[in-house]
Structure 1
Amino acid sequence: MAIGRFTSPPCHRPGIHAVEAVSEHSFPRHSHDQYGIGLIDRGAQRSLSGRGMVEAGAGWTISVNPGELHDGTPIGEQPRAWRMLYFAPDLLAAALHEAGDRGERHPSLASPALLDPRAEAAFERLYGSLTLARGSAAALAGEEALFDLLRIVGACAPLAASLHTASGLARARALIDDEPGQALTLAHLAEAAELSRFQLLRGFSRAYGLTPHAYLLQRRLELARRLLAEGGTLADVACRCGFADQSHMTRLFRRLYGLSPYRYAVSLR
């Protein structure tokens, strides 16, 4: 059988490698040095991993731990297509420690394959933020998606409510409110809140009803509307508000307010 087609889209974050594949090949047992989390886009495969025999089809999230022997055989006559993200062990181990408060040096991903729309959606957001999205908010969106994904694939322990201090979360929110156009990451916000990144993400969502990324975008759009009302040009407003470009601002502005920034500015004249 032919091996198939493999491509590696540019990835915006060091320590993470993206792969897109279409193949009907049966792969023998092998291992990777990195953690791998992926999504099967079409077709299906059977794999014997260190966590047992699994079958996965379109919409299934798959994962592999560093050094874990596994194989892969297509099910049916059609090739399967999948996308994978490979993470440097220290990078993902640190995130898993934050997400589940684990004591082991290299914690394991718990689920070799699962069909869960939440995991699929989180992977899509993470993959898009790493390979497609640009701008200062993309990194924050990617971190949120990664922790959402690890919470499901890694079977991370739920966050204890006692860790969400109202004052810490208020400091993180104030950091966004004070200057929504600045580039912020979960690390910046967690430091302000004196919480881990995962604690910040879960606590912020519970306290304010939005993830930090969604809240940041809302505040940026509010700022954009104010600057447009003051006579700012579209290009200048997009830059000052931290959007990747003018079209990015326009798309989000229309989604929230029901009209484009241009139409909004014209309506004020």
Structure 2
Amino acid sequence: MTHTRDIPQSFWRDEQLPWLEMRSTWQSQQAYKRHHHSQLSIGAILEGGTCCLCDGKEYYLQVGDLIVIPPLVPHSCNPVNGQLRSYHMLYLDVRWCLANLPAQNNNQLLCTHAPVIHDTQLFQCYLDLVALMPQRQTTQITDAAQTLLRSLPLQSVTPESLSATSQYLRERLQSSLLNPPSLDELAHECHMRKETLIRTFKQDTGLTPGSYLNIMRIDYARQRLRAGDEIADVGYQSGFADQSHFHRTFVRYTAATPRQYAQGRSISDNN
């Protein structure tokens, strides 16, 4: 079994382009737990096969395929039959996307009815953008990202309102990363049975309250790691009781170790 720390991975970021992040992973069998991102996610399959469960539907991707995952859509992208797979994942800030798409506004939500794209020219456009990143050519990177974005089958919709219960749970969990209330406490506060609370939240968000809390914690941890905070401090700041719990949860939801994410490279046993 290959340890996550031994999988070659890089996370590309540039302070001049805070709206963009790129992940590149090579020869990986690592699976993800179901999660979502606040950004628009665009994946490119470079090697092997991938099964993507996105918004309740299953898609099979091969080399040369792109997949577009809208913000806040629960998904998982995992290897098929244990195959090794290599891929890029591009994450674009939603506000930047809306500002660079015609006739959009910040109150809209991006979506797509065709998440998988089989288009040789568009795939090459994606690879051309990736090739610019090591050169730190920020103007060319921005232009290429805009071209790619405007070529995607994106639509915008007015976000559906969550139920009052789910909205309350989201806000309660987001504000309580260090000391979250128990499900029993939340059920009491919402005047409903715990099972009903969980079912309502999952129907509205596609996630259980526990998964949502973990995603919020990992999102916060990524922010602090990008800012340069020490890994040991980040685990505590994100609400994890110990480093092993932080490490395991981070790997389950990102398929990368906290150190890989912070340093943007694969980690060997010697480090």
TM-score, scaled to structure 2: 0.49
Structure with a larger share of its residues in helix: 1
Greater RCO (Cα-Cα under 8 Å, separation 6 or more): 2
* TM-score, L = length of structure 1: 0.49
**Could you say which structure has the larger radius of gyration?**
1
